[in-house]
Amino acid sequence: MPFAAIRSHIKPTLLLAYPVILSQLGHVLVNVCDSVMVGQTGTVPLAAVSLSVSLSTVVMVLGMGLSMGITPLVAAADGKRDLPRLGQLLVNGVLLSSLAGLVLGVLGLLIAPMLPYFHQPTAVVQLAAPFVRVIFLSFLPLMVFQGFRQFAEGLGLTRQAMLLSIMANIVNALLCYALIFGHFGAPALGMIGAAWATLIARVLMALLMATYVLRAERLRPYREAAGSWLRLHGATMRRLLSLGLPIGVQMMFEMGAFSFSAIMIGWLSATALAAHQIAINIASVTYMAASGIAAAATIRVGNLRGLGDAAGARQAGFTAYLLAFLFMSSMGLILISGRHFVPHFYNHDPAVVAQAATLLLIAALFQVSDGLQVVGLGALRGLEDVKVPSVVALLAYWAVALPLGYGLGFGLKLGSVGVWIGLLAGLTTVAVVLLWRFRQHSAVAAPMNEAAVVRR
């Protein structure tokens, strides 16, 4: 596609993307803060955080994906100026997200007793079990936040969630410092202090995001259109589930592959698992930035599609692809240059640092694939195409990445490096297939809009 065709989409995409990027980074920086501070207490606690985060994140992204079905529906309804529909999406989206958070929170009570069956080092399991219970409790306020946030972002209101995420991260960092090490008169709780800090920060995020949506004057028409918060709309709830559940399942397949990779690496040693946590933690920061571009793609593609501008929706999708490629290529170069330096922020064990530096080199290689696959998912969500991408993720991660990683890591004795090469292969497969699908799927509708009036 010629650059002239997408040039007009760059600025509006970036204006939508940068607040979402900062908001998305807010979620992952909670884990970064936990890992950095817990890592100062030793290799085993850092390995325990890796196990806890790996398992809890698989469940968390299922709920977050479910809530992401709200955004393209809101964007499309906003494009059509369908106020009654927007009111239904507000009520049903928030209620669905809250119910999901309650269910996910209860799951923590079931998963914690199962940790010994993952065959991780005993000391790691003993530290991880209480951490998991508290982190799962934080999923209820997190999902309440997500329900209100995804509605607002569907309307293009992305800065509010960004500001709240930044504030919550500051609160989380201060609480981590206080509760892990016993500063400011707080008890020194060690690793579990990080979990309590996360719970408190997420409760604050939920309360403030709900207050904004329920009190902001600019959102009054949607609240009035919503009517009673106790009245569910069956068709809307089914539509949210039909769109959000495949997104959640796709995200769970992807994150599940990374989590199972962590479990496999835990079979090697606590040192290998700690190194994996450092590398995956750093890589997740750049991934969340690309995820913000993907969210902007969902909003832009969905809104233009709702306006009837299919050609514009196609151009907006490819604009997001270009931005992600440029950004993630730059991040790959930064990871290569800083791979021996950055791990020292997490841990000072020479063996951990050396292994983390090697894994960061592989992480640098899959930056582009990681960015393109998440943008492909975002652009296809804007087209309300979610089921086929879920199947693609299932096959790429569980039929390619994990078997290949196990074969290289344990069959050929490459250890954690082999496991990460498998992840690289899976990410690249998803990126290529979804790029092809967006090209095909967006091209089908484009000729229908040759005479459409473009409203951007």
> Do 328 and 186 touch, CB atoms closer than 8 A?
no
Output the pLDDT for position 115.
Answer: 87
State which of 33-42, 55-64, 226-235 shows the largest mean pLDDT: 55-64
What integer pLDDT is reported at residue 252 of this predicted model?
85
Q: Is the pLDDT of residue 419 over 90?
A: yes
* Coil vs helix vs strand at 289: helix
With cut-offs at 50, 70 and 90, classify the pLDDT of residue 455.
very low
Among 3-7, 222-226, 303-307, 326-330, the range scoring the smallest mean pLDDT is 3-7
Nearest Cα neighbor of 66 from 291, 257, 252 is 252
Max intra-chain CA distance, the chain: 67
Type and span of the H or E element at 58: helix 43-68
The candidate with the shortest Cα–Cα distance to 380, out of 429, 312, 440, is: 440
Backbone angles phi, psi at 229, to 5 degrees: -80, -5
What tokens were used for 229? 């918060």
Burial of 292 (0-12, 13-18, 19+ CB in 10 A): buried
pLDDT at 453: 36
Distances in Å between the Cα of 221 and the Cα atoms of 81, 84, 86, 243 are 12, 10, 9, 25
Query: Which residues are CB-neighbours of 6 under 8 A, at least 6 positions away?
Result: 315, 316, 318, 319, 322
Q: DSSP assignment, residue 411?
A: I
The answer as to whether 435 is a domain residue is: yes
Residue 453 lies in a domain: no
Q: Is the pLDDT of residue 437 over 90?
A: yes
Indicate whether 456 belongs to any domain: no
pLDDT of residue 49: 82
Hey, what are 107's tokens?
A: 């799951």
DSSP H or E run through 215: helix 191-215
pLDDT value at 198 more than 70:
yes
pLDDT of 449 reads: 44
Q: Which two tokens stand for residue 334?
A: 């930064």
Q: What's the CA gap between 277 and 443, in Å, rounded?
A: 41
Average pLDDT value over all residues in the chain: 86
Q: Using CA atoms, how far apart are residues 301 and 113, in angstroms rounded to an integer?
A: 44
Q: 63-67, 203-207, 402-406: which has the minimum mean pLDDT? A: 63-67
- Other C-beta atoms closer than 10 Å to the C-beta of 221 total 12
* pLDDT > 80? residue 25: no
- Check if the beta carbon of residue 50 is closer than 8 Å to that of residue 227: no
Looking at the structure of the chain, the number of domains it has is: 1
Range name among 20-24, 158-162, 279-283 with the lowest pLDDT average: 20-24
Q: Is 372 contained in some domain?
A: yes
Report, as an integer, the average pLDDT of 27-42. Answer: 75
pLDDT surpasses 50 at 111 = yes
In the DSSP assignment, the letter for residue 80 is T
Q: Assess contact for 344 and 353: CB atoms under 8 A.
A: yes
> Any alpha helices (H) in 69-115, and if so which ranges?
70-79, 83-111
Per the domain annotation, does 105 fall within a domain? yes
Range of the domain at 169: 3-448
Q: Calculate mean pLDDT across residues 61-83.
A: 86
